[in-house]
Amino acid sequence: MANDTNVTWHDHRVSREERERLHGHRGCVIWFTGLSGSGKSTIANVVDHMLAARGVKSAVLDGDNVRHGLNAGPGMLRESHGEAYAERFGLGFSAIDREENIRRIGAVAQLFCESGTIALTAFISPYRLDRDRVRAMMREGDFIEVFVDTPLEICEQRDPKGLYKKARAGEIKHFTGIDDPYEAPETPELVVCAGERTPEELATEVIDYLMKREILSAAG
């Protein structure tokens, strides 16, 4: 059996500080959390667009997209990799699968951050402990938790994928907010009330926060 403790960490030749100097801004992780349909992906993409317009290096990691690739579900892996593989590595929506989903995404977001990029993540990430573990992996100040505080009733009215309707009908089990928990952050860096304002207004609040924290400079 391979011994995974025989793996050694290597420092890179180009430091994070050098990369940040080249980019003209700091790296960080902006971690959007909230119910399905709360507006996480929409706001993350508007922020990404605003950052691109300023010449800032950023990347969006999005729930649905990552669950098609890095964290594919068993259903997606079954045909290409077989039943046993799909059962072992496919990630669904049990508490432990969500935990592993968030752990992996946290590790990827950290790589982006260390490369001097602003990583924007849009995952429900319903468990406080899972989010706090990601925060603990990062350097102090790198993890910016943004709670997209949209009431369940509004998310359910929006229901762009029809999933709430299915969950209410019992066709999807363990759906967050319906028959699975969502633990709101207690002390997030930022709370945005997406039920009341446009995605552009909310994205501007995030950009203002980055300026205030000097992650972005006035020029970049």
Ligand X SMILES: Nc1ncnc2c1ncn2[C@@H]1O[C@H](COP(=O)(O)OS(=O)(=O)O)[C@@H](OP(=O)(O)O)[C@H]1O
Residues acting as catalytic residues: 125
- What x-and-dash track marks residues 161-200 binding ligand X by CB under 6 A? x-x--------x-xxx---x--------------------
Q: Please give the full DSSP string across 149-181, using - where no structure is assigned.
A: ---HHHHHHH-TTSHHHHHHTTSSSS-BTTTB-
Based on the shown chain and the rule CB under 6 A, indicate whether residue 67 belongs to the binding site for ligand ADP.
Answer: no
Based on the shown chain and the rule CB under 6 A, indicate whether residue 64 belongs to the binding site for ligand X.
Answer: yes
42 binds, among ligand X, ligand ADP, none (CB under 5 to 8 A by kind): ligand ADP
Q: Which is nearer to ligand ADP, 201 or 214 (CB)?
A: 201
How far is it, in rounded angstroms, from Cα 158 to Cα 136? 34
125 binds, among ligand ADP, ligand X, none (CB under 5 to 8 A by kind): ligand X
How far is it, in rounded angstroms, from Cα 29 to Cα 156? 28
Say whether 63 counts as a known binding-site residue. no
Q: What end-to-end distance do the CA atoms of the chain give, in Å?
A: 49
Measured over the CA atoms of residue 125, residue 129, residue 132 and residue 138, the dihedral's sign is negative
Residue in 202, 201, 197, 192 with CA at minimum distance from that of residue 34: 192
Say whether 38 counts as a known binding-site residue. yes
- Binding residues for ligand X (CB under 6 A): 36-37, 41, 63-64, 67, 93, 98, 101-102, 123-126, 161, 163, 172, 174-176, 180
